[in-house]
Amino acid sequence: MSDPVFDIAVIGAGPAGLSAAKKAAQGGLTVIVLEEHAKVGEPVHCGECLSAFATKRMGLELPEEVVALHVKGIRVVFPDNSSIIFREEGYDLEKHLFEQYLAVLAQGAGAQLHTSSRVVGMKRENGVWTLSTLGGEVRARAVIDASGFQSVASEFTGLNTEKTKTVMGAQYYMEDVPNDGYIEFYLLPRLAPEGDLWIIPKKGGRANVGLVTAESANAQKYLKQFVKEKGLEGKKIIKPFGGAIPASGPLRKTYGDGLILAGDAAGFTSPMFEGGTQLALKSGELAALTIVRALGKNPRPMTPDINDMASMTDEKKEAAIGEPADPLCADGLSEYEHAWREEFPPYVKLLAGKHEMYALGEQGLSKLAHILPPDVTGMGAQKKALIALKALAAFGPGKVMKIKSALDTFAYSTGEMYGW
């Protein structure tokens, strides 16, 4: 008997891949997830925070062991040490346990998971993909690439020739770091040019202390200096870790024939603080739903008869089976892009706002802090109008639109807006 043809092969068992696998399996499709590492979730390469808005939106009820701390919200600290808070509850996760929990949900829905299965190549013939892994070949009608920032399917198929721009995240997992239940983000260009720094607390004084910066080569130097300035020098570093984060917005093509990119592989990260887990979870789900719907038009695996028709024109095939020849052709999957564009924030606009924010420099950022109220939770029209007036007075009419653009990006950093 020949190997089975799965409906979907998912590359990568991160948040995007596991969310996709669960949704597709729930939709009645046969799914295999191929993960290069021996254990799901390990090694961790994340600051590990996730808003309660995200878990609610995804219908996830987190088991207590995956939660490293229930957090009250976010404090943003500016160069002159002034700060604002945003009260929005969420979690610092034990991310490896969170991903293992997602794997249990995906497998519970019927997906197969193969670890130690690095995908090293893929090709599509007659509507069926063959994926080469170090352990053998896997065949599937559709592929969801959820391989993270490396976006391996783009490389194997040439779907996107332009690589996504990434920024380097570096962090220490530390002990004995005081916290008051807020995640702290620092806008401090001197130590994180075109980026930010963070202290993300966990129970028992543990915390992820890190940064993201476009100056990858200096990331470690800046992190050491930040630790020193926060008075944490000499505290135990349990481990240093980090990784690359997509920072130029969605890739030009997020779908192709029989292929969808989700999560970091599609370039979905929040423009301001580069959180990507919520976007990964949601885009995985949207990718799966797109394929479930496309195959709904032709739910049975292709039969040899249909494969034999490979030499016919599309019109002849359609006439023969009364359906589009390939329900998974790029046109058939284009609804994915409509779905994420409708669901996610307007990235191009927000990336522009982020650059306006960076362009302010240390002095401008501190000035910005002073036009904002100390608590920016749930601001109504009146408070926003007051901020606009203060921006006009502080920065002058020539800069007011740039400040608005920067503040819009900032406003999209909430969990509700897929910021974390």
Using CB under 6 A as the criterion, which residues of the chain lie in contact with ligand FAD when the complex forms?
Answer: 11-17, 34-37, 45-50, 118-119, 146-148, 150, 152, 169, 171, 210, 242-243, 245, 263-265, 269, 275-278, 280, 420
Sign of the alpha-carbon dihedral angle for 291, 297, 299, 302? negative
Angle at 166 between CA 169 and CA 34, to 5 degrees: 85
- Residue 154 or 278 with smaller CB distance to ligand FAD: 278
Find the shortest distance in angstroms from Cβ 81 to ligand FAD.
23
Contact 146, 262 (CB under 8 A): yes
Contact 337, 283 (CB under 8 A): no
Find the shortest distance in angstroms from Cβ 173 to ligand FAD.
11
Residue nearest to ligand FAD (CB): 276
- Residue 120 or 319 with smaller CB distance to ligand FAD: 120
Find the shortest distance in angstroms from Cβ 110 to ligand FAD.
20
- Residue 169 or 332 with smaller CB distance to ligand FAD: 169
Which residue's entry shows tokens 């075109």? Answer: 194
For residue 7, give the 3-state DSSP assignment.
Answer: strand
Q: Where are the alpha helices (DSSP H) in 47-195?
A: 52-57, 95-108, 152-157
Find the shortest distance in angstroms from Cβ 78 to ligand FAD.
20
- Residue 146 or 259 with smaller CB distance to ligand FAD: 146
- Residue 122 or 325 with smaller CB distance to ligand FAD: 122
- Residue 45 or 293 with smaller CB distance to ligand FAD: 45
Residue 53 CA to its chain's centroid (Å): 15
Find the shortest distance in angstroms from Cβ 346 to ligand FAD.
19
Which residue's entry shows tokens 């197969």? Answer: 112
- Residue 11 or 371 with smaller CB distance to ligand FAD: 11
Find the shortest distance in angstroms from Cβ 193 to ligand FAD.
16
Q: What does the block give as tokens for 156?
A: 């194997």
Q: Label residue 85 exposed, middle or buried (CB < 10 Å: 0-12, 13-18, 19+).
A: middle
Find the shortest distance in angstroms from Cβ 290 to ligand FAD.
16
Measured CA distances, 309 to 257, 297, 304 (Å): 18, 18, 9
- Residue 34 or 191 with smaller CB distance to ligand FAD: 34
Measured CA distances, 209 to 179, 194, 213, 227, 264 (Å): 12, 18, 14, 8, 22
Find the shortest distance in angstroms from Cβ 19 to ligand FAD.
8
- Residue 152 or 403 with smaller CB distance to ligand FAD: 152
User: Residue 152, Cβ neighbours under 10 Å: how many?
Assistant: 21
Which residue's entry shows tokens 């020539």? Answer: 398
Find the shortest distance in angstroms from Cβ 208 to ligand FAD.
7
Contact 89, 52 (CB under 8 A): yes
- 375 DSSP assignment: B
For residue 190, give the 3-state DSSP assignment.
Answer: coil
Residue type, 410: F
- Residue 266 or 387 with smaller CB distance to ligand FAD: 266
Measured CA distances, 125 to 121, 130, 146, 151, 319 (Å): 14, 8, 21, 21, 21
Contact 13, 40 (CB under 8 A): yes
Count of residues in the chain: 420
Find the shortest distance in angstroms from Cβ 160 to ligand FAD.
15
The DSSP H or E segment spanning 213 is strand 207-213
